[in-house]
Amino acid sequence: MSDSSYPGFHRLEPSERLGRLTADGWLDPSEADLLSRELDPALDRVSENVVSSVRLPVGLVVNLQVNGNAVLVPLATEEPSVVAACSRAARIAAQAGGVRAVRGERRVGAQVLFRTELSPAEVQEGLDAFLPAFKKAVALSHPQLAAAGGGVQAVTFEPFNGRCPGAGTFLLIIDPVDAMGANLATSIAEQFERGLSEALPGEGLGAIVTNYPLGRPATATVRIPHDLLATDGMDGRAVGERIEALSRWAGIDEKRTVTHNKGILNGIVGALAALYQDTRAATATLDAHACRKGRVAPLATWELTPDCLVGRFEGPIACGLVGGTGPHRPTTAPLLKLMRVSCVGELEEAVACVGLLQNLGALLAMATTGIMPGHRKLHERKGRENR
């Protein structure tokens, strides 16, 4: 095992890569065989230097009612209690009429770092002159996007002033329509950078998508009468009071807030992972939304009213139905059929509902039996089944 330099490694077949690693002492033959058994050859066309795959089980959240429609939502997760808790919360919510969701106004941003000796006013003047032709060029470069009504909505310039003299950033705001839009945004930003360098004196130093949330976030709301929260040992209002207290805790104590939001991401990331979506982008965008006021805040909150417990989730859902790898995976289409999703807005709504209900499932457990009894019971059951 001399070093990790493998020129041309990407040009090998996966089995050849494993053979090289074994010959060089990185792996024993038995270990290489274990990796080979988990290898889906089709995945070599998805990523780089592929030698194996990590499979996650896809479980279904049942009982879910979104805007009056019955849906099933897949969660890719190794944690059985996540699926179980969300399904339990969905059953309770369904008895109360289900979850109401409103899709967001999806916008994706891209930035171009630009260095110039022009004043900010001169840059703005040049931008105003350049922008109409640029929008037409984007429409020609992305005809399907233009035909669907998407494209560049606006471009702004922010000088760094004393922080970085002579430089600033352009922010492109793009309507991606049914795409998640990250690659699209970067492509358009690079096109902008090339064109601007010809239109204005100066130089572009880099162009890239931003995962900072733009546009309007999605929301999901549920109203649960007290009696539906009752357990064998506690009346429903008492359960609701405890859930409200736990929600307030998450709004006060950032150490608790982070874990509160992580539980919401258990549902959101699980649903997006099942569809082969970019879960890192989704997480980054939601984290930024949670911190938009200068400190991390809960993505979902719960409030007790005289007759019910009201829960509300708010956050951007970075997702798409075109582009990326998801549409080309054989499991994506049937899973979307189970979700009864026909457009990206419906996908947003379903995922937002799962985030809210996952939070309810966790808070219900904390407020009553505690997290670990159900968690441990599911793991022990799975352990017995595997013996």
Rg (CA), the chain: 24
Cα–Cα distance for residue pair 49/43, rounded to 1 Å: 10
Contact, 111 vs 207, CB < 8 A?
yes
Pairing of β 151-159 and β 203-216: unpaired
Catalytic residue from among 175, 278, 314, 349? 278
Other beta carbons within 10 angstroms of residue 313's beta carbon come to 30
* Element spanning 66, H or E: strand 58-66
Contact, 302 vs 366, CB < 8 A?
no
Both tokens assigned to 160: 């760094």
Query: Is 3 annotated as catalytic?
Result: no
* Half-sphere CA count of 190, side-chain side, radius 13 A: 8
291 phi and psi angles, rounded to 5 deg: -105, 15
Catalytic residue from among 10, 136, 255, 262? 262
Both tokens assigned to 41: 């050859």
Contact, 357 vs 89, CB < 8 A?
yes
Locus of tokens 């379903």: 350
Catalytic residue from among 79, 190, 241, 287? 79
Contact, 84 vs 175, CB < 8 A?
no
**179: DSSP letter:** B
Query: Is 226 annotated as catalytic?
Result: no
Please, which residues bridge with residue 23 across strands?
A: none
Catalytic residue from among 135, 375, 377, 379? 375
Alpha carbon distance, N-terminus to C-terminus of the chain:
37
The answer for residues whose C-beta is within 8 angstroms of residue 164's C-beta and 6 or more apart is none
Instruction: Name the strands in the sheet holding 151-159, side by side, starting at the edge strand that comes first in the sequence.
Output: 151-159, 167-175, 105-115, 203-216
Locus of tokens 């430089």: 167
Is residue 67 exposed (0-12), middle (13-18) or buried (19+ Cβ within 10 Å)?
middle
Altogether, the residues listed in the chain come to a count of: 387
Query: Is 79 annotated as catalytic?
Result: yes
Query: Is 375 annotated as catalytic?
Result: yes
Active site residues: 79, 262, 278, 375
